[in-house]
């Protein structure tokens, strides 16, 4: 299957929505060796995909808990989860509205 170029369109739409919601966000390309996301596999299958990463974008830093034994719920920032859910919710509504 041909790879989908629509990730940029999807990402741009999410950036528009976050701006309208007043949520500070910045786009970036995943750093080589910095890991992958579930979006990579769906993109390879031809499904327009993007990722919202709600943590610092440095590859490695002191005190990093993500995907370690210290990755527990007390490290979750509720405001960040709420922001991610708002972005996804608004994106779904924008599709529904046409």
Q: What is the mean pLDDT of residues 59-84?
A: 82
Cβ atoms 87, 23 nearer than 8 A: yes
With pLDDT > 70 as the criterion, what percentage of the chain qualifies? Answer: 80
Residue 47 has pLDDT above 70, yes or no: yes
User: DSSP assignment, residue 34?
Assistant: S
The domain limits of the chain are: 7-97
pLDDT category of residue 67 using cuts at 50, 70 and 90:
confident
pLDDT at 27: 81
pLDDT at 71: 85
Q: Which residues contact 91 (CB under 8 A, 6 or more apart)?
A: 13, 14, 17
Cα–Cα dist 56/7, whole Å: 22
Which pair of tokens denotes residue 42?
A: 């769906």
pLDDT category of residue 21 using cuts at 50, 70 and 90:
very high
Cα–Cα dist 53/84, whole Å: 9
């Amino acid at each position: 299957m041909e790879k989908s170029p629509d990730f940029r369109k999807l990402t741009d739409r999410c950036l528009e929505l976050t701006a309208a919601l007043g949520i500070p966000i910045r786009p970036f390309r995943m750093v080589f060796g910095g890991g992958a996301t579930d979006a990579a596999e769906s993109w390879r299958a031809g499904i327009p995909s993007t990722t919202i990463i709600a943590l610092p974008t440095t590859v490695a830093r002191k005190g990093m808990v993500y995907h370690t034994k210290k990755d527990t719920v007390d490290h979750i920032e509720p405001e960040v989860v709420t922001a991610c859910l708002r972005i996804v919710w608004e994106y779904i509504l924008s599709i529904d509205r046409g």
